[in-house]
Amino acid sequence: MEQRLKVAVLGGGSFGTAIANIMADNGHSVSLWLRNERRAEEINRLHRNIAYLPDFPLNAKLTASTDLAATVGACDVVFVAVPSSSCRQVAQDLYHYLPAGTVVISTTKGIEPDNFTLMSQVLVEELPGARIGVLSGPNFAKEIIAKQITGTVIASEDEALKSLIQAMLQSGTFRVYGSSDVFGVELGGALKNVYAIMSGLAAALGIGQNAISMLMTRSLAEMSRFAVRRGADPMTFLGLSGVGDLIATCMSPLSRNYRVGYQLGEGRDLEQIVADLGQVAEGVNTLKLLKAQSDELDVYMPLVTGLYDIIYNKKSIEQVVGTLMFAEQNVDVEFAVK
């Protein structure tokens, strides 16, 4: 390693902890910021995040703190790994301590309700002097921290920033690819959460592998159709942050959104499911925002409409499936290289 950097990771959840541990293993000076004093003390004393990743030891040099100013002071790079509902407030607090030119990377896969604002856009608004990037991909924290092979994407128009993050995170089990389509990479990470709920629901119903494969493929079509309407590159959705992340979250019980959908398919109440989960399932909130945006932009998204009808309009699953099967039959592939 050529350069030892001072890094702050804001958010003491599973993903923030996992990437903080990678960078500590790579020899960087890493501090994890969280709000819970007891949890910070546990991490420092036991070198484990008992609340989120209890079975995995952390690098002994990784430290935790509840003091934001001390955590980010003189940092070279800050990763923001807090829930989308907290992102703006954390960014506003961060503004007071962050020198202009600091690299700030968003890892949060969510959307703010006002004006359909993505997390990198929140950071741009609140941290005008920062160099912003987005990290997204099929990245289950438990597999990352268990050192199972994983790929991710760093998106930015700043080539030096991409190279820096690739060098910081690259390891024998964690590979980092680059992209210049910040909006497309981030949007893919947010939208796939909705389809993961749908896939979990379908799995609980035992609808068959033919149907599951059709569901995932049409999910990708809907995601890219909406994203292109908003200005993203459709080819981005053929990469890790698009189809890669979609496959992972639509097929694994490690996905919180998949688990929400599965329990919906078992007939459980959504509010109770979310309460029992104990963690944020971003897809529940994203569904509302995506339905409103697709209606406003007149983007054809039958799967989103169907899931919305099941969750919020209390239509039966059988009724919605029947409607979907006899809906307009679009072409299979909408975006093709001529």
Q: Domain end: 123, 148, 180, which one?
A: 180
What is the maximum alpha-carbon separation in the chain?
60
**Given its phi and psi angles, is residue 292 left (phi above 0), alpha (psi -120 to 50 degrees) or beta?**
alpha
Q: Looking at the domain assignment, is residue 331 inside a domain?
A: no
Element (H, E) at 103: strand 103-106
Task: Tokens for 210, please give them.
Answer: 């033919």
CATH of residue 266's domain is: 1.10.1040.10
Contact 303, 222 (CB under 8 A): yes
Q: Looking at the domain assignment, is residue 112 inside a domain?
A: yes
CATH of residue 102's domain is: 3.40.50.720
Q: Looking at the domain assignment, is residue 333 inside a domain?
A: no
SS3 319: helix
Q: Looking at the domain assignment, is residue 335 inside a domain?
A: no
Instruction: Say which residues have a Cβ less than 8 Å from residue 116's Cβ, sequence separation at least 6.
Output: 289, 293
The answer to whether residues 214 and 293 belong to one domain is: yes
Q: Catalytic site residue 109?
A: no
The answer to whether residue 1 scores a pLDDT higher than 50 is no
Instruction: Say which residues have a Cβ less than 8 Å from residue 323's Cβ, sequence separation at least 6.
Output: 306
The answer to whether residues 155 and 251 belong to one domain is: no
SS3 63: strand
Q: What is the DSSP letter of 54?
A: T
The answer to whether residues 28 and 166 belong to one domain is: yes
Arithmetic mean of pLDDT, 250-278: 89
Q: Looking at the domain assignment, is residue 145 inside a domain?
A: yes
Instruction: Count how many domains the chain has.
Output: 2
Tell me the pTM: 0.91
Task: Tokens for 214, please give them.
Answer: 């059709």
Residue 33 bridge partners (DSSP): 10, 65
Nearest of 274, 275, 281, 273 to residue 254 by alpha carbon? 281
Q: Looking at the domain assignment, is residue 338 inside a domain?
A: no
Q: Domain end: 180, 199, 222, which one?
A: 180
pLDDT at 321: 79
Cα(148)–Cα(153) distance, rounded to whole angstroms?
17
Q: Domain end: 163, 180, 197, which one?
A: 180
The answer to whether residues 87 and 193 belong to one domain is: no
The answer to whether residues 164 and 208 belong to one domain is: no
Element (H, E) at 71: helix 68-72
* Each residue's pLDDT tens digit, 198-256: 999 999 999 888 988 999 999 999 999 999 999 999 999 999 999 999 999 999 999 98
The answer to whether residues 158 and 196 belong to one domain is: no
Question: In percent, how much of the chain has pLDDT > 90?
Answer: 79
The answer to whether residues 187 and 169 belong to one domain is: no
> Which residues form the domain of 94?
6-180
The answer to whether residues 49 and 149 belong to one domain is: yes
Cα(82)–Cα(63) distance, rounded to whole angstroms?
17
Q: Looking at the domain assignment, is residue 225 inside a domain?
A: yes
**Given its phi and psi angles, is residue 153 left (phi above 0), alpha (psi -120 to 50 degrees) or beta?**
beta
In the block, residue with structure tokens 């949890």: 39
The answer to whether residues 239 and 252 belong to one domain is: yes
* Each residue's pLDDT tens digit, 139-196: 999 999 999 999 999 999 999 999 999 999 999 999 999 999 999 999 999 999 999 9
* Each residue's pLDDT tens digit, 41-91: 999 999 999 999 999 999 999 999 999 999 999 999 999 999 999 999 999
Query: What distance lies between CA 63 and its chain's CA centroid?
Result: 24
Q: Looking at the domain assignment, is residue 218 inside a domain?
A: yes
The answer to whether residues 196 and 176 belong to one domain is: no
The answer to whether residue 328 scores a pLDDT higher than 70 is no
The answer to whether residues 11 and 80 belong to one domain is: yes
Arithmetic mean of pLDDT, 90-98: 96
Contact 134, 185 (CB under 8 A): yes
Kindly tell me the sign of the dihedral angle through the C-alpha atoms of 140, 142, 145, 150.
negative
The answer to whether residues 212 and 176 belong to one domain is: no
Among candidate residues 61, 147, 162, 192, the one labeled active-site is 192
